[in-house]
Structure formats: structure tokens, C-alpha cells
Amino acid sequence: MKLNTLVLAAAALFAAPAFAHDDATLDAMAAPHGGQLRMSGAYHLELVLAKDARADAPAPVRVYLSDHGGKPMPVAGASASALLLSPAGKQSVVLAPAGDRLEGKARYAADPGMKVVVTLKLADGQTETARFEPFRPR
């Protein structure tokens, strides 16, 4: 009986972190740079788009990388792309290291129907992908 209890307790302990970082939980958290957080592998990715973006002018696309505890991770040597999918169409943006983040520019409108897929390639060759809905009401 004690062994079963121990096994169940261990399973609960190791399962808890997996549930702690689902999209709903991350959406309820305040992101450090005001964007939307998503988990990918051992990392949190924060996508920050301009809330006042209009399709007639380039606007920044920024991705910040942190560990599960929120500690910023270096982006030197990393590369990324963001696929912006909106009712107006789709476009791909190359993101390059810019200080503490990966950044690029694109023409997009702040549309609640927009979805973004970020593909990140780290300096060690590891690839991570995350899906966002940056303007969806929360």
C-alpha cells in the first residue's frame, strides 16, 4: 500500500510542471515585455507585436527567450522566422538577434484574427516552434 502511495505521489510531482505551463496559464501571466507567452521545449517564447500596427507601415516583430523560471536566455547565434497569418494574407519575417531579443519588421495590422507561428533555431542547432494568437482578447 505504501509503495502505491509513493508511486502516485511521485507521478503527481512530475506531472505538475507539465500542466503549469499550458497556454491558458501562460495567457493569465503578465509577460515581461507585454506580449504573449508560449512554451516550447525547455523555453518560454514571448511574442511582442505593435498593438497599434497598421498594414501601411512596417512594425516590429519581437521574440524574447527565457527559461521556465522567467530567466532571460541569450539569443546570440540564434535565428528565427515568424509566419504571420491574418485575414489579409500571410507573410514570413526573418528575425535576427538584436540585443536581448530576436527582431524583424513586417507590415501587419493588429487584427484579433491573426495567428503567428515562430520557428526558432538556437546556436546549438536545436529547433523550437510556438504558435501565438497575439491580438486575441484574453
Domain total of the chain = 1
Over residues 69-92, the pLDDT tens digits come to 899 999 999 999 999 999 889 999
Query: Residues 6 or more apart from 85 whose CB is under 8 A from it?
Result: 114, 115, 116, 117
Domain hosting 39: range is 2-132
Domain-located, residue 112: yes
User: Is residue 68 included in any domain, yes or no?
Assistant: yes
Give the integer Cα–Cα distance in Å for 121 and 119: 7
User: Given the DSSP bridges, would you call strands 101-107 and 43-49 parallel, antiparallel or unpaired?
Assistant: unpaired
pTM above 0.75, yes or no: yes
Q: Can you tell me which residue has the cell 516590429?
A: 60
pLDDT in tens, 49-62: 999 999 999 999 99
